[in-house]
Amino acid sequence: MSERERYRTPPQPEPPPHRVRASDLYPRLRTHYDEPGLDAGFSPICGEFIQWVGRTADGGTIAMSNYRLHLQPRRRSGP
């Protein structure tokens, strides 16, 4: 073994293969609102995102996420 080979830097290891993450398989989508000014009516939990928000027939709101379907009836005033 010559002096040059003795002090040569070892070859670099190959980079690890590309790892697939859950965020790559399920990309986050933009929320679709049927009407401007609608609110989902709930706070999403960790990993949940709201996909669609709309109105129900009685005037309440309906929201669909990647985890649940949320119905909120119309708020009525009075007895």
Among candidate residues 18, 79, 32, the one with its CA nearest the CA of residue 40: 32
Q: Is the pLDDT of residue 8 over 80?
A: no
Whole-number pLDDT of residue 74: 85
Q: What is the pTM of this model?
A: 0.63
Strand order in the sheet with 50-55: 32-33, 50-55, 61-65, 69-72
Q: What digits encode the pLDDT tens for the residues 25-76?
A: 777 789 999 999 998 889 999 888 999 999 999 889 999 998 999 999 987 7
Residue 79 has pLDDT above 70, yes or no: no
Residue 34 C-alpha from the chain's centroid: 20
Q: How many CA atoms lie within 13 A of 52 on its CB side?
A: 10
